[in-house]
Structure 1
Amino acid sequence: MPYQQIEDTEIHYRMSGSGPALLLLHSLGGSVALWDDVTRTLSKRFTVVSFDARGHGDSPARGEISVQRFARDGALLCAALGIDRFIPVGLSMGGHAAMQIALDTPARVRGVIIADSSAGGRPGGAARVAQAAARIAEIGADAYAVEYSRSRLAKAASEAAVRAFADLSRPTIPDVFLLQLTSIQSQDWTARLGAIRAPTLVIVGDEDSSTPVAEAARLRDMIAGANMAVIEGAGHLSVIDKPEAFGTLVANFASSIV
């Protein structure tokens, strides 16, 4: 189980394959395990790096818990591994981190893939965090993890898939989950995305109720030259619902720009 010292903590990561590098950035409540299915395919053509955000998976909840810290840890991890240029591939919270990396270190980014995410700036973020905290207090962390997981997957998702993501997210609830959710809800990229010049692909599941197709289209339109792909039968965690379709989109886009 490899770890890399990143400033004030150790970050758990995985690296496999060879070729141009992809940096996989998971969702709130996720971990490197989120990428298992697509990594097996992508690592045949690419160097694939994934890691656990602070307080997720096997990375300790040390230091700042935020989207910006997640992005910085990812960029520093790639540098520590000797990877000069890469394509950040971010899902949900990871999509925010991918945008942050593209803005902070544009010379290192070959392209950007943003999945089931948004440009932020939506009103009512504090209320959404408060509602999540109240619901956790009402039904408990275990039940909330299942409820949260079910709300993020497609309607046809199996109970096994719901349980698997619930098991990933449960250790983050409540403290890390609410800290990271607060950071997510505070993001507003609407005035900044025009500065992204790297080739960009926006992916969204057609059943994504958290950041729906219209929100993805809004995000796409803010980035010059960005393209969008809709995955049928996928919810907010499209990489879980449709891993083959997700992996194919990533591979084809990445191959077209490297």
Structure 2
Amino acid sequence: MPDLLHHRLHGDAARPPALLLIHPLGATLDLWNGCLPAWTQRFTCLALDLRSAGASPPGKAPGLDRHVEDLETLRIALGIDAIVPIGCAMGGMVAAAYAARHPERVSALVISNPTPRSSEAGRAMLTARAEVVRAGGMAAILPAAVERPFEAQPRDARYDRYLDAFTAQDAQAYAEAALGFASADASADLARVRCPVLLVAGRHDLLLPLEQAEATRALLPPGARLEIDEVGAHFLPYQCPETFAARVLNFLPQAASHTRTLENGR
């Protein structure tokens, strides 16, 4: 049996669709904890650690192909038939790739802090960061690695928890994860997505600014929605969990109605 990603299943795997929660680079499945109280009342939720993150198995620079393969292996093992991938930042590219490659399983797609690909500047930054971390550990990229994603956010207990968790990561695993995302490009996958899509961008996101969200929407079929959170920055599900969770709950019934309309027209 293949190594499964570390995960937490909240609810019944047989109750479709399950929300598949895909964290960004530098985080773990705990990123979604603030959203779960709202979502688990109505949906089964599957939160996971991507390969080379959290308690999941390590991998050599895992890219989109490997991440999608891991997600499908986990879905099959748990017996989940229908899912709604919800990804944040780099995890959003994984969510889009899964939706495009397994359309028969996906009824809707949500991406927070979206980007279609790692830019040239982003690729250089992540490659350099991996080298620095390998040599000097996680502390070598602090505080900038946490300060920038938390632009205009309070330095409160939530910030402290993220900083502590980020610092405690395995440096070698983080370096591999960063290298995997350095060359990630979901552009072709985004163009093949056919389910309803919600994009949510953060007004204060310095790493993936609004232009990246617009570029993502331009690749999607007409009808993809783009909403802007005026308060949050780079990690909307973590920084503004109540607002983000409400946006998703508002979107999903509309997405289900749209999906039924499409199916009836076939």
TM-score between the two structures when normalised by the length of structure 2: 0.86
Q: 1:209 & 1:46 partners in 2: Cα distance?
A: 32
CA contact (8 A) 1:150 1:162 kept: no
User: Which shows bigger deviation, 15-24 or 96-105?
Assistant: 15-24
CA contact (8 A) 1:24 1:89 kept: yes
Q: Report the CA distance shift for 1:179/1:207 in structure 2 as closer, same or farther (over 3 A).
A: same
Q: Which residue is 1:253 aligned to?
A: 251
CA contact (8 A) 1:121 1:190 kept: no
What is the 5 A alignment of 1:38-57? 38-57=35-54
Q: Which residue is 2:151 aligned to?
A: 154
Q: 1:12 & 1:134 partners in 2: Cα distance?
A: 26
SS at match of 1:50: strand
- Residue by residue over 1:105-139, the C-alpha shift from the partner in whole angstroms, topping out at 9 and shown as x without a partner, is 11111011111120115224442134324654787
RMSD: 2.2
Q: 1:160 & 1:211 partners in 2: Cα distance?
A: 24
Q: Percent of pairs identical after alignment? A: 27
- Which consecutive unaligned segments of at least 5 residues does structure 1 have? none
> Once the 2 structures are TM-superposed, how far is the Cα of residue 207 of structure 1 from its aligned partner?
0.5
Q: Which residue is 2:104 aligned to?
A: 107
Q: Which has the higher contact order (CA 8 A, sep 6+)?
A: 2
What is the 5 A alignment of 1:226-245? 226-245=224-243
User: Which shows bigger deviation, 149-158 or 123-132?
Assistant: 123-132
User: Which shows bigger deviation, 49-58 or 226-235?
Assistant: 49-58
* Aligned partner letter, 1:247: A
Q: Which residue is 1:16 aligned to?
A: 10
Q: Which residue is 1:117 aligned to?
A: 114
- Residue by residue over 1:13-41, the C-alpha shift from the partner in whole angstroms, topping out at 9 and shown as x without a partner, is 11113543110000111111111110111
> Once the 2 structures are TM-superposed, how far is the Cα of residue 68 of structure 1 from its aligned partner?
2.7
Q: Which residue is 1:37 aligned to?
A: 34
SS at match of 1:11: coil
CA contact (8 A) 1:67 1:93 kept: no
* Aligned partner letter, 2:120: P
Q: 1:66 & 1:171 partners in 2: Cα distance?
A: 23
> Once the 2 structures are TM-superposed, how far is the Cα of residue 164 of structure 1 from its aligned partner?
1.3
Q: 2:19 & 2:202 partners in 1: Cα distance?
A: 21
**Which of 60, 75, 79 in structure 2 is aligned with 1:78?**
75
CA contact (8 A) 1:32 1:52 kept: yes
Q: 2:43 & 2:20 partners in 1: Cα distance?
A: 10
Q: Report the CA distance shift for 1:142/1:207 in structure 2 as closer, same or farther (over 3 A).
A: same
Q: 2:186 & 2:29 partners in 1: Cα distance?
A: 26
> Once the 2 structures are TM-superposed, how far is the Cα of residue 190 of structure 1 from its aligned partner?
2.9
- Which consecutive unaligned segments of at least 5 residues does structure 2 have? 257-266
* Aligned partner letter, 2:147: R
Aligned residues: 252
